[in-house]
Structures are given as structure tokens and as C-alpha cells.
Chain A
């Protein structure tokens, strides 16, 4: 008993010491933590604030006095009824649903080819990565030239069909979107390829050897060992591209300017036009927040899937 009684205070004292040290640490780092939080959150909070007003830079009052033009959720209800916004959103989703799978399959195919060694691999590898390094604006200009009615794309088609083809790619509302998607696939398949290749290389060699020795064919190995083991990296690659497509802007804007009409107007282009041409900044803030919420949901979903993939 005596041993216990003499021991208890020492234990208590030690614990309080440890606790107070921890609390001091918290206080000392608090200013830095607040600063980081402020930097991260300020733009978003400002957006939320502005989006609840009818403020525009033309109103002649500083942004922080925007509460004088308070309109509540009016911007958001407007957004719900804005057919141009919904058109841009659906168009973006359409581009995403076409481009991401195509980029994924092309990237995966290339990764399969490049995972083994062959003659000239390094040269080909560097060449394949070039599109990714081209400045998007330059890529936009390149594809603008390629898809002119007298441009190389039509020349090529003429050569194969042996009759003169004069398709006005960029001014036809249906074809313009195709041209834009071709450009995006050209530019971003290499990134997909790069990520998937890294994932494929990291699939343990002995697992594949073990599967071969158990008599598994190439396809069986690919679907039962390689792909399942790449799950996390595949989800990351897809998530990156999905988010990037929401931001698709520069290449597209140079090629078509969002036109003809609104035929290639994606969310980013729409936001740009509303900001720069119509100067309804508070409305833009509302759109931006809506998109942020959509993307957050997508990211959360992807991360959830990824965690499940790691558990399983």
C-alpha cells in the first residue's frame, strides 16, 4: 500500500507536466495555424460573401461594403434557372465522359506497351510526353490551324477518301466540340500514360511471376493481378483528369472561343465570359461555389473508393 500511495502523486505530476507542455505547444503554434487557415479559407469565404450580394466592380463601392447590395440567395435561384449555365455544365460533363475514358484506355494501352523493354523505348517515350509539355495556348493555336477548312486534317481526309473534303470543323456547332475533344485527348493522354505506367511498374514482379507459374495467361494476369493492384493509382489518375476537365479553358478558348454560339462553351468558358464580358462578379462567385461543391463531392467519392481499395 505504501508503495502505491507514494507512487500516485509522482504519476499525477508527470501527467500534468506532459499535458501542460502539450498545451503550451498549442498556444505557441496558434498564430501560425490561424494564418494558414486564413490563407486557405479567405478566398472561399469572400466568394460566399460576394455571392450573396449583387455586387459588381462597376458599382463603385469596395468589395467589403457589398453587404449594401445584399440579395440573399437570389444569385443561386437565378443559377438554377440559367439555361446557359446548365448547357455549359452538361457540355463539360459530356466532354468528361468522352475524353476521360478515351484518355484512360489509350494511356493504359501505351503503359502496357512501355512496361516491357524494347528497342527505341526511350526515344519513343520522350516523344510521347511532348504534348503534355506544350503550353496549352500553343496547343490551342496548333489545333486551330489543324482544323481549318483548308488545314491538314481535311487534307488527310481528302487523301483517304480521294475527293476534296472541306469541312468547317470549328464553325460547325457539332464538329467544333469533337475538334476540342481531340485536342484535349492529344494533350492529356500522355499524363494518363505517365501515371498509369508508374502504377504498372510498381506492381510487384514476383506476383506476376507467381501467376505465370500458376499457369495464368497474359489477360488473366492483367485483369486479376495488374489492374487490381493499380486500383489506387487508376482512381488518382481519373480524379485528376475529371477535375482538370472542369477547368478546361485555354486550348479550347483559342480554338473556338466557346463558339460557334455556345456550342463549345464549357463551365470555365462560361465563367470567364460572365466575369470579363458581363462583369456580374457576384453571380460568378455563385457559379464558382456551385462547381466547387460538385468537385468536392467527386473528390470525396474518389477518396472513399480509394480507401476501400486499400482495405480490400
Chain B
């Protein structure tokens, strides 16, 4: 039950700014996700929250209380590391119990607390095993349980499920989301997987080279990215980007595009593809079952179109592209979003 605020926080290592004037506000009980490519400052922000690093400037607040002089253990923030950092010589149960045993809590409380957490995570059958005998997903559970059992004010997770199988990742992220809602705790999450980030979080913060690009609910960022950078980070396949002239050349009906527009973005799912003579040519088909991804060349640009279902198309065939004017994203020469064209 803690809100976390950053106020103009900067941190540099050897003259290189890792975090640059970052401000944000993680509300109580939010699932808050930091998203960005490697070295965009995600890990540094986690370290700053944990108190493992001190900001060069700016202030960090927990529930409005400045954290500058609060040591890392006193912040009572739990962390699940990317490599999980399980103790290999202990069983899963001993791993989960560890943070409580270290705090000299009485045995009955430990038992109750551990049972509560391990029940929630459905891990009774693996408790007696050492980490070496657990699968990737099971290790994940142990690490998360070990963080949960402490009952901290907030949890930090640094890309905790990236090592799992694709299928297990999909299940675990839903599980994580459920867990967070059950526990009613602030959870700060770092990932480089856009689908995972959009799936789990209440709010996302997109970082580029230590600076905040945009903060908001995932679908707001997806529907209204404030820059080409944010637009390109979310969505798979990524948003098509082309110059205004190219868009006019590629589309059947000339859309109305604002004069100052330099780049136009169109989400693959907003492109409509008609099988008739047009400026486009199909260069690739990826049938995924639920959707079909077409690669199309038109006006010298490679486009991706995501079509629902399994429509018939053939490579090399001419096609006509069209788009609902409301689905155009317009950006200026600096890559900043312009209000709808």
C-alpha cells in the first residue's frame, strides 16, 4: 500500500546519464511497468527505488516521504531478480522461508505466511525440491514466492519471466497479474517484451536513453502514441511508418494529411487489403491461424498488414490498400505526434 514518486531524478555513471530528469508517480496498488530497450535506464530506476543507488539529483518519495536518508533494507521493497538468485543449496521451501527466518519471526507465523503464499502460487508439489530439479517456470514461482512472503510495501520485478517458454510466459503473466490483484500491492515491473508489458500493467512508462517518453495506460499509449518512438515500440507487427507522399502513393483513396506531417504511421491491423489491381504487391504471407500477416510492397515501402482470419492471398499478386482516415497517426519532423490529421 505505497505510492512511489520520482521528482526530476537523474543518475549518471562516469559522465553518462543513465537516468535523465525522470519524474513519475506510481499510484497505490498499481501494476506499473517500465518498458524500453536494453540500457534505456530501466535497471537503474529499479536500483534507485531499492536504494542500491543514490540519485545525483532529484528526490524519491514513498507515500510522500523523501527516501534520501532511508537505507535499502528499511525501504522494505522486495525484488525478484532477472536471474532469480535462488539459493542452490536450499530446497524451494527453505528458499521461500529464508527472508522470514532471517528476521527472527516466530515459527507459527512463518508457517502460516509461507502456506498462504505457496497456496496462492500452487507450488505445494515442488516445495521439497532444490532449484536444480525445478523447471524454469517452477523456479520463477519460488523466486516470486520468496519476494511475496516478506509482505513488503512494494515489489520490483526485473524481467522475471523472460527465460520461460513462450507458452509458459503467456500463462505466467496472467498469473502475475492475478497475484498482484489478490495481494493488493504496488508492483513495479521491468520488461522488454511489449506484449507482456501491455498485458499486465495498469500503467506503462516508456523509456528511451534514460528519459521518459510517455506514461499512461497501455491502450492509451497504443492508441495515441506521442512520438514515432513510442509508436514503434508497441504492437507486433510494428506500426507501418512512411512519409506522407509514400502513404498517398500506396493507398487507394488519398487521405487528408496535415501539411506539417512528416511521418505517417498506420497500424498493420488498420490496413484493409483488397484483391484487385492496385499499387501494392504481396511479398510474403504468414498465416498464424487467427490472423494472417501480409507483407506488401507499395510505393517503394514495405508494409505489413494484419488481417483477421485466413483470407486467400498469393505471393506476387497485386492488391489495393486502404485505411480508415481515423486510424492514421501523424508525426512531425522531430517524430512528435500531431493531433489527428
Q: Which A residues have a C-beta under 8 Å from some C-beta of B?
A: 7, 10-11, 14-15, 17-18, 21
- Residues in chain A near residue B54, CB distance under 8 A: 18, 21
- Residues in chain B near residue A10, CB distance under 8 A: 8, 57-58
Other than the known A10-B58, A11-B56, A18-B56, what 4 A-B pairs have Cβ atoms closer than 8 Å? A10-B8, A11-B10, A14-B58, A21-B54
- Residues in chain B near residue A14, CB distance under 8 A: 55-58
Asked whether A7 lies within 8 Å of B56 as measured between CB atoms, the reply is no
Report, as a range, how many residues of chain B touch the other chain: under 10
**13 A-B residue pairs with CB within 8 Å:** A10-B8, A10-B57, A10-B58, A11-B10, A11-B56, A14-B55, A14-B56, A14-B58, A15-B56, A15-B57, A17-B68, A18-B54, A18-B56
The digit string for B28-61, where 1 denotes a CB below 8 A from any CB of A, is: 0000000000000000000000000011111000
Asked whether B55 lies within 8 Å of A7 as measured between CB atoms, the reply is no
- Residues in chain A near residue B58, CB distance under 8 A: 10, 14
From DSSP, what is the main secondary structure of chain A's interface residues?
helix
- Residues in chain A near residue B57, CB distance under 8 A: 10-11, 14-15
3 closest A-B pairs by CB: A11-B57, A14-B57, A18-B54
Complex CA–CA separation, A17 to B56 (angstroms): 9
Taking the closest CB of chain B, its distance from the CB of A274, in whole angstroms, is: 51
The residue in chain B whose Cβ has the minimal distance to the Cβ of A14 is B57
The residue in chain B whose Cβ has the minimal distance to the Cβ of A21 is B54
Complex CA–CA separation, A72 to B8 (angstroms): 64
Kindly identify, within residues 4 to 41 of chain B, every residue whose CB is under 8 Å from any CB belonging to chain A. 8, 10
Complex CA–CA separation, A10 to B9 (angstroms): 11
Taking the closest CB of chain A, its distance from the CB of B111, in whole angstroms, is: 42
- Residues in chain A near residue B10, CB distance under 8 A: 11
Return the contact of B8 from the options A7, A18, A21 (Cβ within 8 A).
A7
Complex CA–CA separation, A15 to B57 (angstroms): 7
Complex CA–CA separation, A21 to B57 (angstroms): 14
Complex CA–CA separation, A84 to B159 (angstroms): 67
- Residues in chain B near residue A21, CB distance under 8 A: 54
- Residues in chain B near residue A17, CB distance under 8 A: 68
Taking the closest CB of chain A, its distance from the CB of B48, in whole angstroms, is: 13
Complex CA–CA separation, A9 to B55 (angstroms): 15
- Residues in chain B near residue A18, CB distance under 8 A: 54, 56
Taking the closest CB of chain B, its distance from the CB of A292, in whole angstroms, is: 35
